[in-house]
Structure formats: C-alpha cells, structure tokens
Structure 1
Amino acid sequence: MTWATIEAPPGLAPPEPMTVRAQTIPARHFIPEHSHRWNQMVYAISGVLTVTVEGHSFVISPEQAVWLPTGLLHRVGSLLGAEFRSLWIADEAGRGLPETPTVFGVSTLLKTLIVEATTIEGEEDRDGYAGRVTTLILDQLRRAQPLPGALPWPRGGSPLTALCEALYADPADSRGPEAWGRELGMSERTLARRFEAELGMSLRSWRRRLRLFRAIELMGGGLDVTRTAMELGYGSTSAFVYAFRTEMGCSPQAHMRGHAADRFE
C-alpha cells in the first residue's frame, strides 16, 4: 500500500516563545520533508509516529518524543495513524536544549503539560498562566533523559519497508532472512547486508527491539502480560518476561506499575 502526503499548515508564524499545534495523521500519511526557523518537539499523544531526519528513520511511541533543532530537515508520518502534537520553540527559549536531533523519554507530567498547553493555545494570557505552563514545559524538556535509540525504520521507497511494516503489524511472524529474501526478490546475504546498512543492525536485533517496542505499546493499551506475550509470538510468558527484563532491567509488570504510580504522584 502507498502512503499519501499531508500538506504543512500555511502561514506559519514564529513562536513567541512557544506555539503548540495539534494534528491528526491518518494511517499511511506523512508530512513531506521540510524545516523550520525554530526548534520543534515532535510527539504523539496516541499512536506511533515515523520520523525521518539526517538520512535516518525511526519510530517513536507516546512514551517518547524527538527534539529537532532549528533548520533541520525532517519528515513525519504514521503507519497506523496518530494524534500528533508539535511544540515550536524559539531559539532564545530553547537555550540549553540539545543542538542535535535527540530522542528522549516523556514523563507523565510533561505529557499532561503538553495536553494543557494545547487546550489553552491561542487564548489571551491575562494572568500569566500560559507563560507558567510554557516555563514548566521548557524545564521538563531540559530534565528529560535522552534515550540510546528508538526503533529504526527504512527510508521511504526502500524494499525493506514492506518487511518492517509486516512485522510491525504482526510481530509474531517468524519468517527469517531466507524467507524474507525470497519474498523481496533478493538473496539472504543481500537482505542481511541491506538491513545492516539501512537500519544499523541485523534483522534479528531489529525484531527483538520491535517486540520490546510493541510490548510497551500493547501493555500501555491495557493488554496483560500473557496476552502481550502471545501477540508478540513468544513461546511462553516466561520467555517474554526474560527478554523484557534483559532489555529493560525490570519485569513487564514492574515497568507498568512504575508508569501507573507515576500517574498518581
């Protein structure tokens, strides 16, 4: 299936010091490559975004956001659809924030502040409340912890896109490099070489990261650990728990309890 484009909003005015834009991205739609004369934070309140920047593509969930410094060419889309929020931040207000594209974790407080900033966007700030929300958001951005890496994704037009989209939709798909090579009309060796070149890791490593990414997404949507393990194609719940603990340093249950506790603190 092909992807369709969404035009960037016309008449963009510089943020003073921050502008929040809310947008829905339908499934398989993207905003073509562009840049801004200000910083941008890309975030999905719900759903998953695909972001392409500096020749690399990756996927971010509602637990993650990406910081894009002023002038950086980027493209944003969504495979399954997403509720998208953009924070445009003037250079002066963004002092102390990264000078390179950075993926970071989004705390419950930061998400709540983004939702509130969206609600009051465009209102007259008579009592300074909007300014205080902006200040808190900037403080949260400066305190946010960079993540070592999001889920890499092939660039548009790559034959690997069909493979990654199929595995994202069905992470239990157990086909290996040989079967996928036949599917894509290339040898197993060629597939492995292209995967390393385009995504920076082997198909096996990418599949492992995909399952972790999808596990957090599924459990965040209310699935229990056993059902999540089945959806991801693990042979048993214990195998899933072991893999999750190895990657995250805690069990799936502990991870979700931590997020639940965060919501009520």
Structure 2
Amino acid sequence: MWEPVEAPPGLAPPRPITVRAQRIPPRRFFAEHAHAWHQIVYATSGVLTVAVEGRSFVISPEQAVWLPTGVRHRVGSLLGAEFRSLWISDDAGRGVAELPTVFAVRPLLRALILEAVAIDGQESRDGYADRVSVLIIDQLRRARPLPGTLPWPRGGPLVGLCEALYADPADPRGTDDWGRELGMSARTLARRFEGDVGMSLRSWRRRLRLFKAVELMGGGMTVTKTAMQLGYGSTSAFVFAFRTGMGCSPQAYMREQETE
C-alpha cells in the first residue's frame, strides 16, 4: 500500500526561484495539489511517479517534469528517491512551456540545479545566486522535450502488475499468466491495459526495458550485465532492441550523455 506524506510547510512565492532538496521514502506520495507558481520536479537518484492531467508516468534522473502554474499533480516513488523541487515565478518561467512537459536533464542543467540547492539561503552580495537562477531558466527554455516517457497506470490491479515488472524486467509472464494472476481473461487484461496506459502490454514492456537500461547503465552497469538484468538472451539482442528504440547503440547513447 502507498501512503501519503505531508507537503513541506511554509511554502512562499518564489522570487524568482525557490529550491528545495527532499527525500521521499518507498511507496510514499504527495497527495494531489497545485501551486500558484511553476514547478520543476527532478530526481537526483531513484525514480519518481508523476500523475498529472489524467495520465501517470515515471521519470529517472535523466529527466525532469515542468508543471505550469495551477496544474494539479501528484508525485510519489515506488522505491524511494532523492529529488529537487524548483518553484519558479510566473514572470521568470515565461517562455518555458505552457503545458506539463518532460524534459531531458543535461549535465549543465543538473549541475546548476545542484548548485542552486547548495547556495540556497546564503547571502549573495555579488549577485551570484541571481546569475545561477538566470542560467537555470535559460537552460529550461533550451531543454529538449521528451515524447517517450514511461506511462504508468493511475490505480487498480494494473499498478501491481507494472510494479512487479519494474522490479524484475526479466519476468517472462505474458498476458495469459498475468490475467490469471489478476483474475481476468487475457483479452480483458489487454483491453484494460491499453485503455489505462495508452499502449499494449508488449509495447510497454519494451519501453520499460529501454527506461531501465538507461537507468542501469547510467549507474555504471556494463552493457552485457544490463542485457542479462533485463532478460535479453544475448548482448547482441539487447543492442539491437536498444538501437531500434533509441536510434543508436547503448555505447553511443552513454557517450552522448557524458559529453552533452
């Protein structure tokens, strides 16, 4: 069971950016709410589940979510996460995005976010903190939206299915097996999954494996070990699947992340 956690007290309007470092334990969530300012949600470690505007998805430390002013949202974590919240005033956030958007977090933006947290509350007579804020906003305006996030069901038995596959992407069970596990026919499961998540279970599992591959390799795991962890029969099969889904090899993708 997931349990709610209290929102941090004393939320004041950002001028122009307020940063907060937070940790969310496993299977905890902040109940649905909205802010009178923009927000960036970014996990420095672990993954976050974000529900917004009738859809739900997970983000890794290579991704962040832009939540415009007034958008109701819920944030939680299956396995626990360290994350940073950036609250941004309407004026400062003008020109970033008008709708909830998932961005790729490149090394410079990550470094700026961590620096903003490190200097938060310190006296800045030379205007250094203001310059960091300006650079963060500039990077957000230049950030690349990501269309291929990992969608997540909003509730019901499908959540347990996705949690099990996230914990063990090599799990070989298909719709027949999972249908019996959840007390429904394979056809009913397939229809409910596609209706709730927006894609077939097979397509979702392919995307899950890509998502986990980036997470595992980003944590230092080799390509071969990642392939085995994800349940591929060989390294070459994993490389082929990764190239098909991402447009480049795993090695090329990781090199790109290190140099950008």
1:49-198 to structure 2, matched below 5 A, reads 49-155=48-154, 157-198=155-196
Match of 2:236 in 1: 238
How far is the alpha carbon of 1:11 from its aligned partner?
1.7
User: Partner of 1:224 in structure 2?
Assistant: 222
Deviations 1:139-174 (CA, angstroms, capped at 9, x unpaired): 00000010113100011x311011000000000001
Take 1:220 and 1:214, find their aligned partners in 2: how far apart are those partners? 10
Would you say 1:26 and 2:20 are equivalent positions?
no
How far residue 125 of structure 1 moved from its aligned partner, in angstroms, is 2.0
AA aligned opposite 2:163: E
TM-score with structure 1 setting the length: 0.97
Once the two structures are TM-superposed, the CA of residue 258 in structure 1 deviates from its matched residue by 1.8
In 2, distance between residues paired with 1:259 and 1:96?
25
Residue identity opposite 2:233 in structure 1: G
The alignment partner of 1:52 has SS state of strand
Instruction: Determine the structure 2 residue equivalent to 1:247.
Output: 245
Q: Deviations over 1:202-232 (max 9, x none)?
A: 0000000000000000011111001000000
Give the CA RMSD over aligned residues: 0.7
SS in 1 for 2:109: helix
Would you say the 8 A contact 1:105–1:146 is kept in 2? yes
Corresponding residue for 2:199? 201
Amino acid at match of 2:127: G
Structure 1's unaligned 5+ residue stretches are none
> What amino acid is aligned across from residue 82 of structure 1 in structure 2?
A
Contact 1:42-1:85 within 8 A present in 2 as well: yes
Distance 2:220 2:97 in 1: 34
Deviates more, 1:105-114 or 1:248-257: 248-257
For the residue of structure 1 that corresponds to 2:12, the secondary structure is: coil
Q: TM-score, normalised by structure 2?
A: 0.99
Give the Cα separation in 2 of the matches to 1:124 and 1:58: 38
Alignment of 1:30-49 (within 5 A): 30-49=29-48
The answer for the alignment partner of 2:209 in structure 1 is 211
Structure 1, residues 64-88: CA drift from partner, whole Å, max 9, x if none? 0110000010000001111110010
Shift of 1:261: 2.8
Aligned residues: 260
Mapped to 1, the partners of 2:83 and 2:104 lie a distance apart of 16
**How far apart are residue 123 of structure 1 and its match?**
1.5
Read off the aligned partner of 2:110 and give its amino acid letter. K
1:3 and 2:2 aligned = yes
Question: Percent of pairs identical after alignment?
Answer: 74
- In the alignment, structure 2 segments of 5+ residues that lack a partner are none
